[in-house]
Amino acid sequence: MSKLLSTIQSPMQLHGMSPNELNQLADEIRETLCSLMSIRAAHFASNLGVVELCLALHSTFDFRRDRLIWDTGHQIYPHKLVTGRYDEFQTIRTRGGLMGYPNPAESEYDLFVTGHAGSSVSTVVGLRSGDDLMGVKDNHCVAVIGDGAFPSGIVFEALNNANTLKSKMLVILNDNEMSICPRVGGLASYLDRLRSNPLYTGLKQEIVSLLNKVPVLGDPTERMLAQIKEGVKAGLHGGMLFEEFGLKYFGPIDGHNIQLLKKYLKMVSEINGPVLLHVITRKGHGFEPAASDPVYFHTPPIFERRGDEVIIKKSTSKAYTHHARDAIFDQLKHNPRVTVITAAMCQGNALEPVREAFPDRFFDVGICESHAVAFAAGQAKAGLRPIVDIYSTFLQRSYDQVFQEVSLQNLPVTFMMDRAGLTGPDGPTHHGTFDIGYMRIFPNLAVMAPGDANDIGAMLDFSINHSGPCAIRYPKENAVEIPRQLQPVELGKSELIRDGKDGTILAYGIQLSECLAAAEMLQAEGLEVRVVNARFSKPIDQEMVRHAISETNFVVTVEEGMLHGGFGTAVIEAANDLGLDTRRVRRIGIPDKYVEHGERGELLHDLKLNRDGIIQTCRELAVRFCNVTAHQAT
């Protein structure tokens, strides 16, 4: 039991705490985080890194009235622990429990559900502007954003807009030299130079304070003094990039010293207008295994601590992500024109072997998805065959570039959309449920989903040799291989896996194995159900649709994506074009709602996207269209 932490029902209790009590609280938070990792996988290293920053913020500001946005949101655990959620903390990332990201439904201290990087500065600028217009001018608006997210284009759009503000707005740059993987690019180099500046903030501020006493009046001598003053300040002041945006820059300072943080937070809270406070932290701070390997311990599997030793419970199963990685590796090995591009997700996409073997054709562009896609378009125009390996949910951030730079130009870019479908405990910000609908509407773009692990390599080979853009979606799930004579992947062609005369199940994606299991059980009940591996949602296999509706009594479409605009919709559209009756078609997928977090199996069960749900739907249709009684169908 955490003696101090367990008594915290409101962050206002932190305001009266002594330095020793705050340091004790930091230790108890870290112990609670480590205990959580013994029961479930969760975001870890990033949360360890912001413990002191969180405590300093909540012991300085009153976020019942002040505003706080945690960018990306996966480092929200210490914040949840001190805002009245300690008793529920062990439920985090479970169905019905706390979300692993900020959630306004849980607490008044969470303003947005934030799961994508870079938007915090924009929302805080909007909050500041909104409060000003509503007459609330004496509060503080604070955004905490990491150095990995900071290069996102939307951040600089927000900074460009922020200098119009005259009231209190604070951006805290949490600089830990990391994204999920080590950060990349020019801004990372700039921050490294600020980190290594031998002139500490205290010295700089003392000198600047003295320089500020130089009067600025009107005669030539005084103007010359003023010019010298500004020149010296520029030489001493490392944050000139931020100053040019109109932000007052302070730092860098130690982000693990609570008293120092409180001192600077108090100081900058008295400044009207936008301020940037540069804080240096270490991911995994306070737990040496995580600090030494923050990439692995970003979201590690369940582990046990035995003294200083960490015992990891590793899975021996091979995920679809690893099959995709192997297929990408094989393409780079045999085709010198193939490249791979990722957006700060080398580790998440398991691409480390590709990066090591083909460093000249591996490109990590940071958390800059729009740039990643436009960059790929440029490579394709130059004659390369780029693969953009990216999470489905993050590809949404580059929607306009998919349209403008890739689809409109009909360029041969391949999108490998990892984490398509339900991502389980990560919840609605990370479920990749929209890509079928948002990709298949684009002309020129072929959209595929493998029925099993065997399809992935074949689909990627098809895509690399196709004349236009292609997208391949696959989930965060252990892979299944369905024994069969694998048929080649042809544009817009499905694959018949099992025949049957009573009904047809059209499977789009890895639910194919569940559909086959359902068909086996239905056969024992006397129903012969055909199972098709659809493979394509764009272009749809019209002959597949024709045969399914014309030759069997009912059709069930199955997809791990939104029903609106999804694969089932594509089937109905094709049937309409063919003049076929669609009254015997039923769609199983994700309804018009955001799916909360929970174990993947639980969520699939709730949505009837597993074997039992498919069987139930087929039985209901058999009663209506196969002259089968309800008793016979069970």
Closest CA to 339 of 386, 390, 406: 386
Active-site annotation holds for 369: yes
Residue 409 and residue 377 in contact, taking contact as beta carbons nearer than 8 Å: yes
- Conformation bin of residue 464: beta by default, left when phi > 0, alpha when psi is -120 to 50: alpha
Q: With H, G, I as helix, E, B as strand and everything else as coil, classify residue 388.
A: strand
Closest CA to 594 of 423, 400, 370: 423
d(CA 350, CA 286): 27
Q: Is cis: bond before 252, omega within 30 of 0?
A: yes
The DSSP line for 430-464 is T-B-SHHHHHHTSTT-EEE--SSHHHHHHHHHHHH
356 Cβ contact partners less than 8 Å away, ≥ 6 residues apart = none
d(CA 477, CA 325): 14
d(CA 343, CA 364): 6
Q: What is the DSSP letter of 402?
A: I
Indicate the pairing of strand 529-533 with strand 495-498: antiparallel
For the beta carbon of residue 315, count every other beta carbon within 10 angstroms: 8
Largest CA distance in the chain: 101
Number of Cα atoms under 13 Å in the Cβ half of residue 215: 6
Catalytic residue chosen out of the listed positions 183, 229, 262, 397: 397
Active-site annotation holds for 64: no
The DSSP line for 266-327 is HHHTT--EEEEEEEE--TTTTSHHHHH-TTTTSSPPPEEEETTEEEE----SPBHHHHHHHH
Catalytic residue chosen out of the listed positions 30, 85, 283, 619: 283
Active-site annotation holds for 476: no
Residue identified by tokens 């436009």 is 374
Catalytic residue chosen out of the listed positions 28, 369, 405, 477: 369
The DSSP line for 81-137 is HTTT-TTTGGGTTSTTS--SS--TTT-TT--S---STT-HHHHHHHHHHHHHHTT--
**Residues assigned a catalytic role:** 283, 369, 397
